[in-house]
Every structure is written in C-alpha cells, then in structure tokens.
Amino acid sequence: MKKVLIIQTLVKQYRVSFFEQLDQALKSEGIQLRVAYGDPTEAERQKLDNVELSSEIGLKVQNYWFLNDKLLYQSLWTEIFKSDLVIVEQASRHILNYFLLLFSTLKLKKVAFWGHGWDRQAETPKFSEWIKLKTINKVDWWFAYTEGTAKYLKQCGVPKNIITVVQNSIDTEEFKQYLLNVTSEDLERVREKLKLKNTDKIGLFCGGLYANKHWKFLLESNHLIRQSIPEFKLLVLGDGPDRQQVIQTVNQHPEVLYLGSKFGYEKALYFRLSDVFLIPGLVGLAILDAFVAGVPVVTTDIPIHSPEIEYLIPEINGFVTEHNQQEYAHKVINLLLDEQGLTQLKSGALDSSKHYNVETMVNNFKEGILKALLK
C-alpha cells in the first residue's frame, strides 16, 4: 500500500472534513493517508478555530518553535521515510522543508508543495519570500490553491504538467443544511432578541478579529452608511487578538452588534438575517459561507487577499471597491437601495456556491496525488 504524508503546522476546524474525505478517497485507491500536525502558537490559539484529527488520520507531534515563532521543527523522520509522497506547506519557516527539498533533488523522496505561491500578506519583500522564490521549482509536484496560484507558478518556471489546481474550498454541505433549517419563526426570534426591525438593512462581518481584516475601516464606513440609511445595522461575528478593541469600539455605537464567535446553526441564523457580507480587509474562505447563504460580498482592492478572492466576480456575486471609506460606503448604500440589483447579486452568490465545494477539492487533490505517485 502506497503511503502519503501531509505535514501541517496545525489543523483548522474548516480543514477536518477535507482531510476525512480525502482519506476515504485515497483508501479507495489503495493509498494510506497520514496528516502530521502540532499545537498552535498563542496567537493562533486566540482565533479559537484549532482542532485535532482522529488518530486514524492524524498524527499529533510536538511543535518546536525558534526565533520568536519564526522557525518550526517537527520530528517526523520515521513517517517521512515510510512515505512514498510527502506534501508540505510552502512555508519557509519549516526546517524540515529544507531537508525534504534536498531529498527531492537527490531523487530520494517524492515531495510536493501545497500553498499560495507567495505571501500575499507581506507588506514588503522579505528574505522568506526570496527563499520561497528560489525553492518554488525544487519539488516533484505542486498543489496550487487556485488558478491564479497556478498562473503565478508557471510564470516562475514551474512546469504546467506538475501542477494540480485544487480549487481551495471548505465543506459547505453542513452549513447549507443549517441554512435550510432556519425558519421564519427563528428569524423573528433573533430580530426580537437583537431589537431589529423587519425593515432594517443588515450588514454582516464574520471572521477573525485582527488588523488585516480592517475592522476599523468597516466600523468607520458603517457611520457613513448610516448617514444615508439610518435603518442600517451591522452585525459582527468572530474572535481574535483584537477582540477587546472591537468590544470597546462597538460599545460606543449601539447600531453595531458584536455577537462573538458563532458556529453551525447559530451562524446560519445571522447569515439568513443579512443583506450583504461586508469584509473590506483580507478575504479568505469565509467568502464561500456568504455564497452558500446567498449573501453578496463587498470588499476592497487591497493586495493582501487570500487566493479565494478570485471567486468574487464583480456585479455577479459582489463588488470590489477602492480602499477608501467613502467609496466603500457609497457602494454599499447603492446596493442596499437597489432592491432589484441586490436580488440579482444574491442569486449570483448562490449560483457561485455550486462551483466551489470540498468534494471537488478532494477529487482534484486525489488526482494530483495519483499523478505525483506515478511521476
């Protein structure tokens, strides 16, 4: 039986279904999957979205951090040598990666990268990005997040025939069921609890509370939106390092409701209540929750978005404005006042959700693994 090892720093809640389904898909091909991972750093722990895998799939190891969490070592030599293919994050902080790149060069081990291609959140060029660029073409296979990632890889000289576009996604089926189970009585109960009127226009933010999400920009834009739409209310869902700052700011604005982290059915309730999904900062996989709920996304044209920003098609399932509060607020105001246009965007968002799902990602990943093993 062929063995595949995926090495992760940690495991996020949204990845569990993917790993479980990939495990089953590979078993049907006579391939064993192991996912090695460790505990999160304190900064990651504060996001409250880290989980553990079952022992059948997961292998919990000790994370050894150095240089103020800039370098990571995981002792996985036994698993590495037992595996036919090792898939690692394309991250320069992983000490093991440098040994694996050497093994790949010497044809001692098949190694694959899984990643974005470059750090979209880096404000200035870093030494770590230089390392990524120098090693980008030193593996046997590439699992690219999106078509945009694949395009970048090809520009950097990575052969097209060793790139698999996985179409990064999450398991939206469970969330879809939660949304379908929300009743009009449930919505009325939540409106009463939050003191919302049926005529209120609702904006929703759902995500991590940290600087790159530009939550301050959103709260300032909220003030401008309310000047034109007094019945506008903003719901903020999420947690993170900036939680206390958000609470302190929100306390000064009664029209903004901070509700903390919400999951499953509770999260579905708030998505069903909302007219628009407002995320002026970094857009990631949360965009798929919005699409499944049929809620159009409004963001800004900043360079730090994750690859999933490619899924947003302006005037089809959302909008991208200049990173300017007046422009952002103006777009949201026009959208909320255009009932026909808003309905069309909601329909477009729902239609987009059909193209991005974990089943497609699992199949793409499986096919890439099969090809990599044959290489």
Task: Please answer whether residues 293 and 179 qualify as being in contact, where contact means their C-beta atoms are separated by less than 8 angstroms.
Answer: yes
Note down the domain range covering 285. 173-353
Domain check: are 136 and 246 in the same one?
no
* Structure confidence at residue 131 (pLDDT): 83
| d(C-alpha 252, C-alpha 331), whole Å | 25
Domain check: are 178 and 293 in the same one?
yes
* Structure confidence at residue 130 (pLDDT): 83
Cβ atoms within 10 Å of 111's Cβ, excluding its own: 24
How do residues 70-109 score in pLDDT, each as one tens digit? 899 999 999 999 999 999 999 889 999 999 999 999 999 9
Rg of the Cα atoms in the chain = 22
How do residues 208-239 score in pLDDT, each as one tens digit? 999 999 999 999 999 999 999 999 999 999 99
Q: Going by C-beta distance under 8 Å and a sequence separation of 6 or more, which residues neighbour residue 372? A: 85, 110, 112, 140, 141, 162, 164
| d(C-alpha 248, C-alpha 243), whole Å | 9
Task: Please answer whether residues 160 and 183 qualify as being in contact, where contact means their C-beta atoms are separated by less than 8 angstroms.
Answer: no
* Structure confidence at residue 46 (pLDDT): 77
Domain check: are 163 and 222 in the same one?
no
* Structure confidence at residue 42 (pLDDT): 87
Give 22: exposed, middle or buried? Use CB within 10 Å, 0-12, 13-18, 19+: buried
Instruction: Tell me the pairing of strands 85-89 and 71-73.
Output: unpaired
Domain check: are 153 and 41 in the same one?
yes
Given the structure tokens 């920003």, which residue do they identify?
309
Per DSSP, the residues of 199-249 read T-EEEEEES--SGGG-HHHHHHHHHHHHHH-TTEEEEEE--STTHHHHHHH
Residue among 133, 126, 128, 125 at smallest CA distance from 158: 133
Domain check: are 153 and 205 in the same one?
no
* Structure confidence at residue 119 (pLDDT): 67
* Structure confidence at residue 344 (pLDDT): 98
| d(C-alpha 31, C-alpha 125), whole Å | 40
| d(C-alpha 12, C-alpha 208), whole Å | 13
* Structure confidence at residue 143 (pLDDT): 98
* Structure confidence at residue 129 (pLDDT): 79
Domain check: are 158 and 191 in the same one?
no
Domain check: are 207 and 126 in the same one?
no
Domain check: are 225 and 152 in the same one?
no
Domain check: are 214 and 344 in the same one?
yes
Domain check: are 79 and 213 in the same one?
no
CATH code for the domain in which residue 67 is found? 3.40.50.2000
Domain check: are 151 and 200 in the same one?
no
Sheet bearing 232-237, strands edge to edge: 256-260, 232-237, 201-206, 276-278, 297-300, 318-321
Below-70 pLDDT ranges, the chain: 119-125
Residue among 290, 302, 272, 280 at smallest CA distance from 345: 290
Domain count, the chain: 2
pTM, full prediction: 0.86
How do residues 8-21 score in pLDDT, each as one tens digit? 999 998 999 999 99
Domain check: are 205 and 285 in the same one?
yes
Given the structure tokens 């989980």, which residue do they identify?
51
Per DSSP, the residues of 274-286 read -SEEE--S---TH
How do residues 265-280 score in pLDDT, each as one tens digit? 999 999 999 999 999 9
| d(C-alpha 188, C-alpha 17), whole Å | 32
